[in-house]
Structure 1
Amino acid sequence: MVTLTEPPVAAVRRPGRLALLGTGLAALLLLGSAVHLTQGTANLDALDVLRLVFGGGTGDTTAIVVESRLPRLLAALVVGAALGVAGAVLQSVSRNILASPDTLAVNAGAHLAVVAVAAFGVSLPLLGATGVAFAGGLAAAVFVLALAGTGGTGIVRLVLAGTAIALALVSVTQVLLLLYAQETRGLFAWGEGSLEQNGLGGVRTLGPLVGLALAALLGMARRLDLIHVGEDHARTLGVHVGRVRFAAIALAVLLAAAAVTLAGPIGFVGLAAPALARLLAAVVPGLHRHTALIPFSAALGAALLLGADVLLRTIISPQRALEVPTGVVTTILGALFLVVLARTARITSATAEPPAAGARSGVSALRYRVVLGVLALAVVAVAVGAVLLGDAKLLLGDVVNWVTGQAGPIVTGVLDTRVPRVVAALLAGAALALGGALTQAVARNPLAEPGMIGVVGGAGLGAVTVITLVSGVGFWTLTGSAGLGAALAMALVFTVAARGGFTSERLVLIGFGVHAAAQALVTLLITLSDPWNETKALTWLGGSTYGRTFTHLVPMALALLLVVPVLVRMRRELDLLALDDETPRVLGVPVARSRLLLLSCAVLLTGAAVAGIGVLTFVGLVAPHAARAIVGSRHARLLPAAALLGAILVGAADTAGRTLIAPAQLPAGLMTAVIGAPYFVWLLYRHRATGRGR
């Protein structure tokens, strides 16, 4: 269990420190605002802005500052303050230092709501859009908190639940962006958080709303103090915990919704700002009280977002800075902060159950053969159905004629393009399922998978880097870059986790940070490259089999051919590594070497699958879990069943994506996320119920 507790207040009070911190933050905000106003495409320096302040500026200077730079500056201050306070309140009511609009999927829910309104052509005023974003964000937050709990002990569960729900919501959002490209044009970059404003109208409308929410939360400060200390203590003093908690969550979500409406979902400000404030409470007495924590979190949030925007426009040209979402910078910086926080957190030895825990211990040999036979037949059925279904429906006779070379040109053309896609989906599903099973065994975390610990994100970043920076890139170069990205991400996650004391919880938290940073860098690359890359990258990042040929199958086939013999030989070591470190050492298993080899196999499988058909999520989680429930936890039986289930899942998802809205298509990865998220939610619910039962 991760125990990230609030730092103790210093025994000796120094009341001047709080005032000193406040003065320092105010000076920092003033300095940052002054620098921010001098940055832009027009040639204005500090003296020009200073003359304007004292009424001596020209008409051009006034127009540039008031209509362009001031709205962006005020948006940064309002959005940063709103997210900082939202994160602080969510952390308090959940008693979880990793709670934020990001980890509770508030941003993802609000973003989906706004995109859905735009996709279906509904025109709303700014306050109406804020209401829609509020409804989406509140539903997501309540759902995640219901899964993770509010007792302060479900930190990793909260991150996993929020990540899973956010991935599902983001997948639905991407579906809408693809299907309604005209109606939602420009919302892709906005989806990472952009401070660009069209005048002062947005700030004038939503600024007062943010102020009212802040005032209401300050009025609840004493009750929030009591709830954060302990629910029983708060009830003893007459606090209605349920009502206060719901009101606080609603106000926090309203702040996040206002921020999303004004600037899009900006990542990690709502996590980093209040977490920094709580860390400072160790040396600044009184900061732990909400009367100080709320305004200081607001100031830190504004400073972080303003600093990120200043940094962005300092590093790249002002013209290019207009194209890059500021949320990309905050996400990268926030992900680094999360990695550091996870590395330095105190984590007890009572980690999550290993993948073998709670699973069926085994089935009879006869039943196992029957199950494996049924799964093999299901793979064949999915393959046949995938070949026959699509924008053009075929018959088995058409397939037979194609195999024998007697089909007509239309059938030949359809099957020449469709069969490689079907085989690619089956191979990718098997590869990702095996990679997930290996990751769960080595990490000893039943909720880990390559997508959630940064490996798939690293592979995607490697591939997108080549796609966007190199024109006419060849397939093998793309494959190599995806594999290199996966390997670097895996090495980074496991190296940092091991240095902090290797535990599965730490691994998941660090992996989540690396995944978020990789996604932000992907967005940065797409927005800085040819704008026509947006749809292509969205389709590829969604895990599409479109345009696959038999050449694209070679890396996945080679990866499986290389890895399967290794897994057959190491099946017993896998069983031991899934238990603990001591048992395999006693039995003579070289733990470090075996773990490195198995992780290398997982990276190879994941990188090949991402290079073959793009980014897929949840396959590496759902397939091993389902296989474990069916055939037991012994890897000699688990791995073949997981591979078959992975092939079935991706094959069925790809077929559904090609058939449901034919002739239009949905990427297979979006379908696997929509299918896999409910299963993952059920797993989290079951684990929480099991934990309460103890």
Structure 2
Amino acid sequence: MSLGLDEQVDAPAGTRPGRGGATAIPAAPPRTAALPLVGVFTAAVVLVAALAVLDLTLGTSDVGALDLWHLLRGTSDDQTLAVLIASRAPRVLAGLLVGAALGVSGGALQSVARNPLASPDTLAVNAGAYVTVVLAAVLGISLPFALSGALTFVGGLAAAAFVLAIARGGAAGPSRLVLAGSATMLALSSITYLLMLLFEQETQGMFAWGEGTIVQSGTQKVAQAAPVVLVAIVVLVVWSRRLDVLALGDDTASVLGLDVRRTRVVAVLLAVLLAALAVTVAGPVGFVGLSAPVIARLVASRVPGLFRHRLLLPFAALAGCAVVLAADVLIRALVPARAGVMIPTGVVTTLLGASLMVWLARRLRASGPVRATASVGARAASRTRVGVVVGLLVVLVVGLLVAGLLLGDRLLLTGDVANWLAGTSGRQVSFVLDQRVPRVLAALLAGAALGLAGTSVQAVARNPLAEPGLLGITGGAGVGAVLATFLLPGTSVWGVSVGAVLGAGLTFSLVYGLSSRRGLSSDRLVLVGIGVSAAASSIITLLVVLTSPWNTTMALTFLSGSTYGRTAAQVWPVAIALVVLTPLLVRWRRDLDVIALDDDVPRVLGVPLERTRLGLLVVTALLTAVAVSAVGVVGFIGLVAPHLARALVGSSHARVIPVAALLGAVVLSAADTVGRTVIAPAQIPAGLVAALIGAPYFVWLLWRSRRA
């Protein structure tokens, strides 16, 4: 399986490549004049101090800069002091603590993995820590701060260890690390969303907190976490010379007498501890651990001597403080005071971090050919086998259709369905089936649409691990649908579908345009898509918090992918799209075969590459958009269905297209039926069940190919 492991990120001047083709963290340069270093540190401290003071002047009360000046002079009233002590000072202190902890954590993880995209987010540390906090809330366990921090540390460490094992410690390149982290994060997020939906009362307020907020009710948490954060940072700085040697590569470091494994283990433990403490204090503030070290390294590329870890890590801490405080200031300056309090700080930091991730992904350069998508696990199948597979899948689809109609919070008989079709059923049966039929059809049709969209995307991207969600199309469609709902209250289903189509089209146009630098690279396309997808998720959260801050169930249901409350009007757009667009994919079946190989073969055979590729992407965006408008944001169907189809019937798209559509319908329909039945009368959104199935499958694909 080809994952583009020979690609790497263009490094700043002075870096040297490490093992596995990953970007190496540069070794310590010779000693230089201290004046530039003093200047850059002074500027950073002044910037952080200015942002802290500015943040103290912003809030919901009338206390401003002049009142703080009077407070410093000792001429202010008690109200100013109360506001400062009760809310603003704890908020600023939390921002400083979280920024420093995540900045150093991300810097250490990037050095250990020799990967500029490593961070507590891309290694799923934040997701692992967050799920433990939600689990404790569900169980009704009120833990003291020390035990709560220990619990988040265990969750974050388990997630990071899992991701690093799959990605071979980051040596396999940026794409595998981020793909493994994204899959693990999505699986953990699915568990988190499930717990929050099933235990709404116990987890009230955790949706917004889950995006990361530095709003505090006192300084108790900060005061308890600060000593541990300080000690961890000091230990990492003391170990800085070991990290400098580690940057030379494992073989060189071993020759120089460094215990590579011990250094890695200690650095990862301390980095995860810092990230876990940040989650305990403020929730998972997104992408600070990515953006702060990247900013620090960009500055270090222009300041001699700053690449030494004893200076780089403290500077990353200052950069983290600046990022968090700047995000908080931006929110409170641009959004009205009371609404600004509800917006999590992590929304803005995620947007910044996602932008930096896209920028880094655009610097990927290919050093070798990319294998064809069709070559991954695909074996030629006989016509008999293809006929048997298609026949079994059709029977399975029919069986799931019947099971979906019969199973749920109320069990029905086939005679009830027959009577309903004949118009002779009783009132209760009619009521149940009137609600259930659109849901079952929505799951079947949306699953088929996502299976087809995934088939097209994997061929165009030449990456068997690509899917509409990882390429940002699903997130863009979600943003468009949510915008249509909020900007046009009472809009019809067709209006939501149009919004989803526009969002999907614009988002993928952005992803494709940003990924086309120096030719289309599958890894670059996926990494840019993941960054844009993260930004889209933050925008959805921002829209929900601004327009309906207390209706988190609605947001969770939409983000989890659910067929709840679907009507026939929401099924028709998906049905029409399948009827119109499926023949186009069938017509392009041979073009898909050659496009999945490389750029040269289609041109030699006379295939209009760019025009065909554009048409396929438009079809993909339309199929994804109508699926999102029908069932919300559902992930991994577009990954699992095409991959299983190639494994069952071979690589020919004439065979893959119908089988992938049927498999997509099977997976989402089964997920919907299980979600409606297993804990009836309560329900699990179909998207969560699908993610819990698809994410482990995706991780297994990565694990199976880890030595490729």
Q: 1:222 aligns with which of 238, 241, 252?
A: 241
Taking the aligned partners of 2:467 and 2:369, their CA distance within structure 1 comes to 17
Structure 1 pair 442–663 and aligned structure 2 pair: CA distance change class (3 A): same
1:325 aligns with 344
Q: State whether structure 2 residue 465 is matched by structure 1 residue 465.
A: no
Look up the match of 2:197.
178
Match of 1:526 among 544, 553, 571: 544
> Would you say 1:4 and 2:22 are equivalent positions?
no
Which residue does the alignment assign to 2:384? 366
Instruction: Give the Cα separation in 1 of the matches to 2:555 and 2:364.
Output: 39
Aligned AA for 2:191?
V
Count of residue correspondences: 689
Shift of 1:645: 0.5
User: Does residue 487 of the first structure (1) align with residue 513 of the second (2)?
Assistant: no
5+ residue gaps, structure 2: 1-5, 15-28
Aligned partners of 1:500, 1:664: CA distance in 2, in Å?
A: 51
SS of the residue aligned with 2:564? Answer: coil
Change (3 A) 1:346 1:656: closer
Which stretch shows the higher mean deviation, 465-474 or 661-670? 465-474
Answering whether residue 122 of structure 2 is matched by residue 103 of structure 1, we say: yes
Secondary structure of 1:150's counterpart equals helix
Partners of 1:550 and 1:496 lie apart in 2 by 38
**Would you say the 8 A contact 1:616–1:672 is kept in 2?**
yes
Q: Which amino acid aligns with 1:8?
A: A
For 1:340, the equivalent position in structure 2 comes to 359
TM-superposed CA distance for 1:56, in Å, is 3.7
**Residue 361 of structure 1: SS of its match in structure 2?**
coil
The 1-side partners of 2:385 and 2:548 are apart by 55
CA contact (8 A) 2:645 2:656 kept: yes
Deviates further, 616-625 or 364-373: 364-373
Partner of 1:142: 161
In the TM superposition, what whole-angstrom CA distance separates every residue of 1:2-31 from its partner, at most 9, and x where no partner exists?
312642348894432211110110110111
Residues 646 and 656 in structure 2, CA contact (< 8 A), matched pair in contact too? yes
Partner of 2:372: 354
Q: Is the 8 A contact 2:642 2:660 kept in 1?
A: yes
Residue of structure 1 in register with 2:17 after alignment: none
Report the secondary structure of 1:182's partner residue.
Answer: coil
Shifted more, 273-282 versus 5-14: the winner is 5-14
2:262 corresponds to: 243
**2:3 alignment partner in structure 1:** none
For residue 452 of structure 1, report the CA deviation from its aligned partner. 0.4
The farther-off stretch of 345-354 and 142-151 is: 345-354
Distance 2:167 2:484 in 1: 38
Residue 197 of structure 1 pairs with residue 202 of structure 2: no
Partner amino acid, structure 2, of 1:660: V
Runs of 4+ in 1 over 6 A off after TM superposition: none
SS in 1 for 2:424: coil
Alpha-carbon contact 2:474-2:624 (below 8 Å) kept: yes
Q: Which residue of 2 aligns with 1:254?
A: 273
TM-score scaled by length of structure 1 = 0.97
1:620 deviates by 0.2
Residue of structure 1 in register with 2:637 after alignment = 619
Shift of residue 280, structure 1, vs aligned partner: 2.2
Residue 388 (str. 1) matches residue 406 (str. 2): yes
Q: Give the distance between the partners of 1:510 and 1:151, measured in 2 at CA.
A: 18
Report the Cα offset of residue 318 of structure 1: 2.2
- The 8 Å contact of residues 83 and 259 in structure 1, kept in 2 or not, is answered as yes
SS at match of 2:594: helix
**1:269 Cα deviation from its structure 2 partner:** 0.8
d(CA) in 2 for partners of 1:687, 1:208: 42
In 2, Cα distance between equivalents of 1:221 and 1:180: 44
Corresponding position of 1:652: 670
| Other-structure match for 1:263 | 282
1:436 aligned onto 2:451: no
User: Equivalent residue of 2:519, what SS?
Assistant: coil
Structure 1, 39-48 or 451-460: larger mean CA deviation: 39-48
Determine helix, strand or coil for the equivalent of 1:27: helix
Question: Counterpart of 2:472 in structure 1: which amino acid?
Answer: G
Q: Which aligned pairs between 1:481-630 and structure 2 lie closer than 5 A?
A: 481-499=499-517, 501-630=519-648
C-alpha contact 1:37 1:73 (8 A) present in aligned 2? yes
Aligned-pair Cα RMSD in Å = 1.5
CA displacement 1:633-686 (0-9 Å, x = unmatched) = 110001111111100000000001000110011110111111101100111112
CA distances 1:194-223 after superposition (whole Å, capped 9, x unpaired): 111001111111111111111111121111
Q: CA deviation at 1:397?
A: 2.0
Query: How high is the TM-score relative to the length of structure 2?
Result: 0.95
Tell me, in whole angstroms, the C-alpha distance in 1 between the residues paired with 2:243 and 2:173.
Answer: 20
Greater alpha carbon shift after TM alignment, 48-57 vs 587-596? 48-57
Residues 154-212 of structure 1 deviation map (CA, whole Å, 9 limit, x = unaligned) = 21011111111101111110111111111111000000011110011111111111111
Q: In structure 2, how many angstroms separate the alpha carbons of the residues matched to 1:572 and 1:211?
A: 61
In the other structure, the counterpart of 1:456 is 474
Query: In the alignment, is the contact (CA less than 8 A) between 2:500 and 2:625 conserved in 1?
Result: yes
Alpha-carbon spacing, 1:545–1:151, altered in 2? closer, same or farther (3 Å): closer
Identity of aligned residues (%): 53
Secondary structure of the structure 2 residue equivalent to 1:688: coil
Contact 2:115 2:174 in 1 (8 A): yes
Partners of 1:547 and 1:404 in 2: how far apart? Answer: 24
Once structures 1 and 2 are overlaid, which stretch shifts more, 312-321 or 480-489? 312-321
Alpha-carbon distance in 2 for matches of 1:575, 1:208: 59
Shift in Å, 1:68: 1.1
Shift of 1:423: 1.0
Deviation at 1:349, TM superposition (A): 4.2
SS of corresponding position for 1:229: coil
The question of whether the paired residues in 2 share the 8 Å contact of 1:108 and 1:166 is answered with: yes
For the 8 Å contact 1:3–1:153, the answer to whether it is kept is no
Tell me if the contact between 1:469 and 1:529 (Cα under 8 Å) persists in the aligned partners. Answer: no
AA of the residue aligned to 1:192: E
Contact kept? 2:104, 2:233, Cα under 8 Å: yes
1:234 to 209, 230, 253: 253
Given the alignment of the two structures, is residue 682 of structure 1 paired with residue 682 of structure 2, yes or no? no
Tell me the equivalent position of 2:24.
none
Does the Cα contact within 8 Å between 2:511 and 2:529 map onto a contact in 1? yes
Kept in 2, the 8 Å contact 1:145–1:158? The answer is: yes
| Aligned-residue offset at 1:574 | 0.4
Shift of 1:241: 1.6
Tell me by how many angstroms 1:250 deviates: 1.0
Q: Distance in 2 between matches of 1:262 and 1:62?
A: 23
Letter in 2 for 1:152: A
SS at match of 2:143: coil
**Which amino acid is the alignment partner of residue 669 of structure 1?**
G
Residue 352 (structure 1) shift = 4.7
For residue 687 of structure 2, what is the aligned residue in structure 1? 669
Aligned to 2:422: 404
| 1:267-346 matched pairs, under 5 angstroms | 267-343=286-362, 345-346=363-364
Instruction: Tell me the CA shift for residue 544 of structure 1.
Output: 0.9
CA separation of 1:73 and 1:466: change in aligned 2, threshold 3 A: same
Deviations 1:17-68 (A, max 9, x none): 2111101101101111111111112222323213323444322111111221
Contact 1:96–1:150 (CA<8 Å) still a contact in 2?
Answer: no
Measure the CA separation in 2 of the matches of 1:500 and 1:119.
49
